[in-house]
Amino acid sequence: MADTLTLTRPDDWHLHFRDGAMLAGTVPATARVFRRAIVMPNLTPPVFNAADAAAYRERILAAVPAGIEFEPLMVLYLTDNTTAADIATAAESGIVYGAKLYPAGATTNSDSGVRDPAAITALYEALEKHDLPLLLHAEVTADDIDVFDREKVFIDRYLNDIRRQFPALRIVFEHVTTLEGVQFVRDAGELTAASVTPQHLMLNRNDLLVGGVHTHNYCLPVLKRRDHQQVIQQAVLSGHPRFFLGTDSAPHARHRKEAACGCAGCYSAPAALELYATFFDEHGALDRLEAFASHFGADFYRLPRNTDTVTLVRENWQVPDAQEMDGQPVVLWQAGRTLPWRLLD
């Protein structure tokens, strides 16, 4: 049994840094592992245009520790007021790598999101024209739709039509959580991919609800039944090239998570690669980790694969309980768990 595992340096194709003082904690946690990251734009206020993206990018770069090479890949936040000109300018900026569709009210800081995904076809057309990927939080938000069915209904109500009407549009099904989502990506062809989080690989809704509500496992889209989890696992373990690493790491201060109405999000960045390695190891598939973490996402985003490496060692260590950010403790996802792989600094 090998005691070390050296990989092409990975990228994180979906995460949340937040803003302001929190960047001093979130950016180094990601930059020590990942060479690039697709940075979600749901700030307050959001990243509406290329100028917002450039300003946010500079704030992120200012938080990167000296001596570390890290590139934030910026994303526009689509709204009902976004224009085709906004998308053209973003595509020409050289720093924006996608546009995110949040259905209004779907998740954290999504109030400015799109009210009707079927009504913004001009934006899909502009994204297709400028070859800028559409990144989807693929859930409906109607009150009459069960929270566990919202991903499937989004596919049926909107996504099949979007895929059919815009065949040259690259689409990333972010943080896929259902067997229907996996099947959609499999069937939709080479211009459709999915990011996969550690929590949706390693957990199902029993881990959220059995024995009480486990608030630090609460994320959106919410964890689903075990049969959905197994289909996601199979897609990843099979080495399918259009399923790749995207942590959806999302920090919240402890008092906001452990509250009567706890925030959605799992802060996994400080242990992300080790968590994925643990999953692949448990399933006898460590040889598939590098492609999932380091190759497939870069290929889909049409970026060069990284040339430097990271090394994991087979050595037990414990995920810390919390990380201090902006004067507040942020509980790590899987805090206290002993993992068998540790990243060499």
User: Is 244 labelled as part of a ligand binding site?
Assistant: no
Catalytic residue among 11, 52, 248, 281: 248
Spatial separation of the C-alpha atoms in residues 67 and 295, rounded to whole Å: 24
248 is catalytic: yes
214 carries a ligand binding annotation:
no
- Residue 220 known to bind ligand: yes
The answer to the question of whether 175 is labelled as a binding residue is: yes
Give CA torsion, residues 179, 184, 189, 193, to 10 deg. Answer: -70
The phi, psi pair for 243, rounded to 5°, reads -125, 120
Query: For residue 101, how many other CB atoms are within 10 A of its CB?
Result: 28
> For residues 200 and 152, what is the distance between their CA atoms, to the nearest angstrom?
16
Residue 279 annotated as binding site: no
Looking at this protein, which amino acid is placed at residue 218? Answer: Y
Q: What b-and-e string marks burial along 30-50, b requiring 16 or more CB atoms within 10 Å of the CB?
A: bbbbbbbbbbbbbbeebbbbb
Amino acid at 325: M
User: What are the DSSP calls for 125-160, one per residue?
Assistant: HHHHHTT--EEE------TTS-GGGHHHHHIIIIIH
Q: What is the 3-state secondary structure (H, E, C) of 177-197?
A: CCHHHHHHHHHHCCCEEEEEC
> Cβ neighbours of residue 314 under 8 Å, at least 6 residues apart?
1, 2, 3, 4, 5, 340, 341
Strand partners, 188: none
Residue 134, exposed/middle/buried by CB under 10 A (0-12, 13-18, 19+)? buried
- Residue 18 labeled ligand binder: yes
Ligand-binding site membership of 252 (annotated): yes
Contact 136, 159 (CB under 8 A): yes
Which tokens belong to 41?
């734009």
* 137 annotated ligand-binding residue: yes
Is there a binding annotation on residue 17? yes
Which residue numbers belong to the known binding site for Zn(2+)?
14, 16, 100, 137, 175, 248
Which residue ranges make up the annotated binding site? 14, 16-18, 42, 100, 137, 175, 220, 248, 252, 264
Q: Residues marked as binding for substrate?
A: 16-18, 42, 137, 220, 252, 264
The set of catalytic residues is: 248
